[in-house]
Structure 1
Amino acid sequence: MKKLMKILLLITAIFLLAACNGNSGKTEEEREKIEVSGGRTMKWSLDSDPKTLDPQLNSATGAGSVINNMYEGLMREVDSKLLPAMAESYEISEDGLKYRFHLRESRWSDGKLVTAHDFKYAWLRALDPKVASEYAFQMFYIRGARDYYEGRGAAEEVAIRAADERTLEVELETPTPYFLNLTAFYTYFPVRRDMVERNPDKWAVDPELAVSNGPFKLAKYAISDEIVLEKNTEYWNAEDVKLDKIVTMIIGDSMTALTAYEQDEIFILDTMPSQEVMRLQLEDPTFRILPMLGTYYYIFNADREPTNNVDVRKALSLAIDRGAIAQGVKRGGEIPARGFIPVGLYDSEGNEFRERAGDYYISSGGADIEKARALLAKAGYPGGAGFPKMTLLYNTSDSHRAIAEAVQAMWKEGLGIQVELMNQEWAVFQDSVKLGNFQVGRASWIGDYVDPMTFLELWTSYSGKNGAQWRWTEDGRFPENKRYDELVEESKRVSGAKRDGKLYEMEKIIMEEAIVAPIYYYVDQVMVKPYLKGWNKSVLDTWYFGNAEVVR
């Protein structure tokens, strides 16, 4: 398969100068300011409190970056390269089904040895139906995993074996070319049973319990304030970790975050105020645009009126002027979306998936109001007459609000319908979508690995991320979803052109069912202070600071 475009980042290794002098005679507050602004502390921000820092329960990219710096999987992606991490080496059987990982000698932040048993415990925990991990489906590649999760099998039947303290053996259901990539994803990170079981609900945010095996460990967690990570001196590669501390501030307003960046209070900005993007591109030399595998979209609840009508869903999608949003609201190089799979992914023959799949029914220009009105009339609402009350839900953010207001105006002008807007804080919003407590919701998906399946597997009946509530049932509801499940399973048993055909058919189904309205494909707008060196951000929107340092 054609390789994905790589992020070209400068990664250097410069030893820090001696610590600052002149602290004598300073007040405690002044000494603290000197420490935080020194060369061994990195400061950045998140736009909301993480719902969790539990590797098996997290499903958000912001928290994922914090977790990615606290923990380490068998493999790690750095600078678009997959590198051995906790796995010092590994072997794969000729049929691609069996993996044997040999763990390097490494310790948890409290000094205890990291073992194959820790990985086995974490992976089975993700599959435990009582834990209810939204990402359990990412483990279904392992033989027996789905049966255990769905109650048809036992944990002992899942093909994960700790042969000894430092040897982990895994058997897959079918050959999975990207399985190694999955082991670099946070759901596959190890956790310690004794710490989890001491406080199952709160262990991951308690510095006394959240022992970690990555380059940093949790030192402080203050809700709506900051998360502080400190260097993990027990990390196997600690001698190459140059930062002593990472201070993650919670800044909900993007303008406030921009001010903090411009005043050197944070070193990274990756949530741009929409109204400032053009100015920043022109005036700030630290502004850059990186590639990202992601789609911003609206999700329709297929099990709730009025969006349980496919013609309504298509009408709402067609009435959105994607170009106006990308160029008039976002203004940062985003690409108007006409399918769910973003640009930058390829099939087995080297064709870009997006180009070959086409645009479906979505206009290559602006909104298709004539077709949208016809579909709305077909659904029983000519000119919007009689259209029921509908709410568009989004998580609190000035950017999401600006897009929602633009779409609200498009639907009013183009279709004659009134739509209310509602915002919720991130943790509450995630639960609302998961439980189906919405009609139309703001959504986005950043790939977890570099393959179209990372977008397509969201919509299976068993996916914890199928917020559209589009799931077939034995009584015949959503039969297209049953076919969708079959295609996903069939695609795991074939390769090459046969697999490609099934992937293309999957996207066609979700687009024809209109459970989503793709709006734009992400690009990654970031600003990084020139004195922060060695940072890495993947096309999967994950930050890593294990090689970073501050050089003033």
Structure 2
Amino acid sequence: MKNRSIITLLLLMFTLGAVLVGCNFDDSADEVDSDTTTEDGTESESEGVDTETGTEQVLNLSENSEIPTMDSVHAHDGVSFTALTNTTEGLYRLGVEHDAVLAIADDHQPSEDGLVHTFTLRDANWSNGEPVTADDFVYGWQRIFEDTGHYANMFETAKILNATEILNGEKSADELGVEAIDEKTLEVTLSGPNPLLAQNLTFPSFLPQNQEFVESQGDQYALEASNLLFNGPFIMSEWKHDQSWQYKKNPDYWDAEAVKLEEINVFVVKESSTELNLYETNELDRVELSASSVDQYQDDENFSLVDDAEIRFLRFNHNLEDLGNENIRRAIDLGWDKVAHADVILNNGSKPLYGLVPEGFSTSPDDTDFRDLNGAFNQGNYEEAQAFLDEGLKEIGKDSTTISIMSSDDESMMKTAEYLKDQLETNLSGLTVEINVVPFEQRLELEKSIEYGISISSWGPDYIDPMTYLGMWVTEGSANRMGYSNPEFDALIDEINNEQDPAARYEMMLEAEKLLFEDAAIGPAYQVTNAVLQRTNIKDLAYHPSGAEFTFKWAYIE
């Protein structure tokens, strides 16, 4: 037994060493030396030591997937959003307390009727030394429509003039309500007053782009760190695809004095057990724990449960015969134990979800939580679920059906897929489940083209308002990605977008959610809570409920 233990320990050490080499942990310090030169030819101090405190200002993090894109026109995921908003800056950014704070804009003056907004830009430069101008915003915003950007609908949400007409093909991108008055003055015209405009403008789709640089790169733009320009608190100094990327403090950032971190290393680590090993060996400073590790660490001083506004849900392909049937969708939503899934399978504080808008995210004008007002939808027992399935199968003329559940290849998603398969096949007679595991980026593309049966999907809010969840489901909306359509729902969303009375608007949003569940349009699964180990000397690392997950600008190592 003793000799076998020694051999086992040696094998474990060898395996961990191999993992570290594969993730480039073994040589990251060698690759980052004091003579590092940025893409624009400037030298940066990369020892990462705070000259005042002597503390090394280096942060090591992980993500479970590669960055899908660094082009703000096409970004549509949290990993890309975090990378973009820490290296590129728009008119506003989210502050430590998640409020919208002026960024490249030094001043914002709305007209008396709230329709015309004039932004004065501060002196700021791109990483090639060129100034950030109003034309960069005009170009970046118009390009989203010209290049079929994923989040063009955010301009409609923000009520930018003519955004709806451009999306409908009735007007051209150059008619968008944005104009460069001069190099430092940007004028934005709205179709109606929007009290959420500043918050909307923190979203990555509203980032500027330097036209000359983008066009000079052609189809290589944003594919590598060298094919990018930066104007934010950090530059991306290195990007090893599917392995790691590195940020360094941008010495030419307009607010560089506020930035304490000198270097941030982000490693792609798909297995939570590997992440934990790297944390324990001081290679990572923050990790999210899997279910199997929570009990072990819940008394650790670095442990905390961090509530999130991200939801996980079942996205049904309404174009398929079986999943296009409301009764079959409702049966699947009822046919599994969401409480046991959250408490046992996830075991990280996540909560079972019986609606679309998560709890603790939004309150009404009279300060009541949205979830409390609308309650829970589609709760019942397995007998009711079986009755719905039987009726649905009868309606499509079948005795049984086989569905495919698509999951991305991170641990929690795969565990959810396996649990769903077991639960649905156990609880529902006549239903067979196949699991299709794909990389995260491929899952996004398959959802976009609606080439799946059921997708275990996720949604993090783009801004702090229930419409960030409700607005997804309009017919042919870019976030719909499942072929759902209800003209009554579409009309209600349009009314919400034009309602100025806060109380009336809130009532409409409650009704919109009810309509979705009358249709059994989606199958909510759980609201994310993260069981986190984060070293206590990390301060002011902003973890946002909407848009980009993290802001590093104000973070520092104590």
TM range (shorter): 0.7 to 0.9
Q: 1:211 to 1:343 in 2, by over 3 A?
A: same
Q: Distance in 2 between matches of 1:36 and 1:324?
A: 48
For 1:184-210, what per-residue CA distance to the aligned partner results, in whole angstroms no more than 9, with x for missing partners? Answer: 111111111122222344322333331
> Could you tell me which residue of structure 1 aligns to residue 414 of structure 2?
401
Q: Name the residue aligned to 2:523.
A: 517
1:302 corresponds in structure 2 to 318
C-alpha distance in structure 2 between counterparts of 1:222 and 1:150, whole Å: 39
Match of 2:154 among 126, 135, 138: 138
Residues 404 and 434 in structure 2, CA contact (< 8 A), matched pair in contact too: yes
* Distance apart, 1:329 and its partner CA: 0.8
AA aligned to 1:512 is: E
1:103 Cα deviation (Å)? 1.0
Specify which of 88, 93, 101 is matched with residue 71 of structure 1.
88
Partner of 2:178 in structure 1?
160
How many Å apart are 1:54 and its aligned residue?
Answer: 1.3
1:330 is aligned to 2:336: no
**Secondary structure, counterpart of 2:225 in structure 1:** coil
User: Deviation string for 1:481-505 (max 9, x for gaps)?
Assistant: 2222211111122122221222112
1:519-534 equivalent positions in 2, closer than 5 A: 519-534=525-540
Instruction: Kindly state the Cα deviation for residue 534 of structure 1 after the two structures are TM-superposed.
Output: 2.9
Counterpart residue number, 2:357? 341
Q: Deviations over 1:446-502 (max 9, x none)?
A: 11111000101111124211112113xxxxxxxxx2222211111122122221222
CA contact (8 A) 1:176 1:492 kept: no
1:432-457 C-alpha deviation (Å, 9 max, x unpaired): 11111111111111111110001011
What does 1:131-530 align with in structure 2 at a 5 Å threshold? Answer: 131-140=147-156, 141-270=159-288, 272-282=289-299, 284-344=300-360, 345-363=362-380, 368-380=381-393, 386-416=399-429, 417-471=431-485, 481-494=486-499, 495-530=501-536
Q: Distance in 1 between matches of 2:32 and 2:108?
A: 46
Paired residue for 2:13?
none
Show the 5 A alignment for 1:8-23. none
Q: CA deviation at 1:253?
A: 1.3
TM-score of the aligned structures, taking structure 1 as reference length: 0.88
Contact 1:55 1:186 in 2 (8 A): yes
Secondary structure of the corresponding residue to residue 205 of structure 1: coil
Q: Once the 2 structures are TM-superposed, how far is the Cα of residue 157 of structure 1 from its aligned partner?
A: 1.9
CA distance in 2, matches of 1:102, 1:191: 17
CA separation of 1:256 and 1:95: change in aligned 2, threshold 3 A: same
Asked if structure 2 preserves the Cα contact closer than 8 Å seen for 1:110 and 1:234, the reply is no
Change (3 A) 1:56 1:429: same
Q: In the superposition, relative to structure 1, how do residues 291 and 93 fare at CA in structure 2: closer, same or farther (>3 Å)?
A: farther
Contact 2:290-2:348 at 8 Å conserved across structures: no
Percent of aligned pairs with the same amino acid: 27
SS at match of 1:219: strand
Q: C-alpha displacement at 1:31, in angstroms?
A: 5.4
Contact 2:96 2:554 in 1 (8 A): no
Moved more, 34-43 or 301-310: 34-43
Preserved contact between residue 315 and residue 376 of structure 1 (Cα < 8 Å) = yes
Is it true that 1:62 corresponds to 2:79 in the alignment? yes
SS in 2 for 1:418: strand
Contact 2:48/2:263, CA 8 A, preserved across alignment: no
Q: Point out which structure has higher relative CO (alpha carbons under 8 A, 6+ apart).
A: 1
Q: 1: distance between equivalents of 2:514 and 2:71?
A: 35
Structure 1 residue 240, shift from structure 2 partner: 2.2
Q: CA deviation at 1:32?
A: 5.3
CA distance in structure 2 between the aligned counterparts of 1:125 and 1:411, rounded to whole angstroms:
45
Change (3 A) 1:58 1:546: same
Supply the distance in 2 between the matched residues of 1:52 and 1:202 (Cα, whole angstroms): 12
Judging changes above 3 Å, is the alpha-carbon distance between structure 1 residues 202 and 254 closer, same or farther for their aligned structure 2 residues?
A: farther
SS at match of 1:105: coil
SS at match of 2:529: strand
Q: Residue 539 of structure 1: CA displacement?
A: 2.0
Residue 262 to residue 377, structure 1, CA distance change in 2 (3 Å): same
The letter for the 2-side match of 1:360 is F
| 2:253 counterpart SS class | coil
Residue 25 of structure 1 corresponds to: none
Q: Quick check: 1:133–1:464 contact (8 Å CA) kept in 2?
A: no
Contact 1:305 1:439 in 2 (8 A): no
Matches of 1:392 and 1:302 in 2, distance apart? 14
Superposed CA RMSD in Å reads 2.1
Cα distance, 1:381–1:396 mapped onto 2, change above 3 Å:
farther
Are the counterparts in 1 of residues 476 and 483 from structure 2 also a CA contact under 8 Å? no
Task: Look up the SS of the partner of 1:127 in the other structure.
Answer: helix
Moved over 4 A (4+): 28-38
1:121–1:217 CA distance, 2 compared to 1 (3 A): same
1:23-45 per-position Cα deviation (integer Å, ceiling 9, x unaligned): xxxxx997558977861322111
Q: Does 1:542 align with 2:549?
A: yes
For 2:245 and 2:530, locate their aligned partners in 1 and report how far apart those are by CA, in whole Å: 23
Shift of 1:233: 1.4
Cα distance 1:240–1:539, how it changes in 2: closer, same or farther (>3 A)? same
In 2: Cα distance, 1:347 partner to 1:294 partner:
20
8 Å contact from structure 2 (residues 96, 540) kept in 1: no
Cα distance, 1:490–1:200 mapped onto 2, change above 3 Å = farther
- Name the counterpart of 1:99: 117
Task: Measure, in 2, the Cα distance between the counterparts of 1:29 and 1:306.
Answer: 51
**Tell me, what secondary structure is at the counterpart of 2:318?**
coil
Distance 2:29 2:75 in 1: 37
Query: Aligned in 2, Cα 1:358/1:30: closer, same or farther, shift over 3 Å?
Result: closer
SS of alignment partner, residue 393 of structure 2? coil
Q: Which residue of 2 aligns with 1:116?
A: 134
- Deviation track 1:411-435 (CA, whole Å, cap 9, x = no partner) reads 1111022201110001111111111
After superposition, the C-alpha distances for 1:372-392 in whole angstroms (9 at most, x for unaligned) are 11111111269x973222110
